[in-house]
Every structure is written in C-alpha cells, then in structure tokens.
Structure 1
Amino acid sequence: MEQRFEAYLDHLCDSLGHVDRHEGLRGYCQGLMLPLARKSVEPLAAGIDPHAVRARHQSLHHFVAKSDWSDERLLERVRAWVEPALLREKGTECYWIVDDTGFPKKGKHSVGVARQYC
C-alpha cells in the first residue's frame, strides 16, 4: 500500500512545477491519511511531525495557501491516474462520482449556521 501511495504522489508531483512544492504535497496528503478528528493544517502538522509542529505547520500552510501551483493541472493528474482503472473493464459503463466534503455547522451564533462546505 505504501509503495502505491508513493507512486501516486510521484505522479501528482509532476504537476506542481518546481521541486520545492513536492514536500508540501507529500506532507499534506500524508496528513489527510492520518486518523485525525480535524484535518486543518495545524492538526495535520501535529500528526505528521509532533516534535516540530510549528515548522511543519508553516510549511504546510505555505504549500496550501501561498505556493504557486495549478489546481487544474493537479486535478488533471488525478484524472490521468484514476481513468485507466475505471476503463479496465471493456464493455461496461463506469462512473466516477466525486462529492465535496460538507458537514453540519455547529453553533448558533455564526452567519449561515447551515451546512458548511470545505
């Protein structure tokens, strides 16, 4: 499983341009795979590197919020990875349904206390 995940990340890194962005993507994806209750940058940083949370938080935040990479190119690489698996069975219809992540908002004092999408 770990080798397949690394191969997938290698495939995705090709879309990021400069090699300095690769570690950010790897850390972010690794954090998303951890069994954490919250998946924002700070808990991801703590889960990935508990001894250097502040530094990891800064690097993950930079990758997510400030680094110059194309989400369209990254999603194209995701599609290029997934599509062959979907099309393996000749003569069968196959669908890839992608849903965003949403959760019920907690609390009564914020604007828009309905479903919160992230």
Structure 2
Amino acid sequence: MREDVDEFDAYLNNLAQALGHADRHAGLKGYCSGLVLPLSRKSVEPMAAHIDPLHASAKH
C-alpha cells in the first residue's frame, strides 16, 4: 500500500514540474487525489470537502 502511495506521489511531482510555479502544485495534487477517492460525485466541491473539510471553500 505504501509503495502505491509513493508511486502516486512521484507521478504527481512529475506532473507538477510541468506546471511551473509552485503555488499550482497543491491544487494539482489535491485534484488528482480527489479523482481517485471512492466518492459518488467527482466534482471539485465534494472532493475538496473530503480532502480538507475545514478548508473546503478555500480548496474549492
């Protein structure tokens, strides 16, 4: 399980390098992480609420 997480993190870090500015990295990682969650709705609002419930509006 941990190996899968490490591979996913490495993949996201590779994608984030293409974005340029570091401020965009967290958004990409949060969005991609939300896409692989077992949620019934894959829109930004439910994903943000699941990833960081206390800051969902800021993540959204």
Give me the TM-score of the superposition, normalised by structure 2: 0.87
Q: Does residue 6 in structure 1 map to residue 27 in structure 2? A: no
Task: Give 1:50 deviation, angstroms.
Answer: 1.4
User: Are 1:36 and 2:39 matched, yes or no?
Assistant: yes
Name the structure 2 match of 1:20: 23
How many pairs does the alignment contain? Answer: 57
Normalized per residue, which structure has more strand? 1
**Whole-angstrom CA distance in 1 between matches of 2:37 and 2:46:** 10
Partners of 1:25 and 1:42 lie apart in 2 by 15
Q: Percent identity?
A: 60
Deviation at 1:7, TM superposition (A): 0.4
Q: Which amino acid aligns with 1:51?
A: L
Structure 1, unmatched stretches of 5+, are 58-118
Structure 1 length normalisation: TM-score? 0.46
4+ residue runs over 3 A deviation: none
Residue ranges of structure 2 left out of the alignment (5+ in a row): none
Give the SS at the match of 2:39: coil
Select the structure of larger CA radius of gyration.
1
Q: RMSD of the TM alignment (CA)?
A: 0.8
Tell me how far apart the structure 2 counterparts of residues 13 and 54 of structure 1 sit (CA, whole Å).
Answer: 22
Deviations 1:43-92 (A, max 9, x none): 111111112221121xxxxxxxxxxxxxxxxxxxxxxxxxxxxxxxxxxx
Q: Give the Å deviation of 1:19.
A: 1.0
1:63-78 matched pairs, under 5 angstroms: none
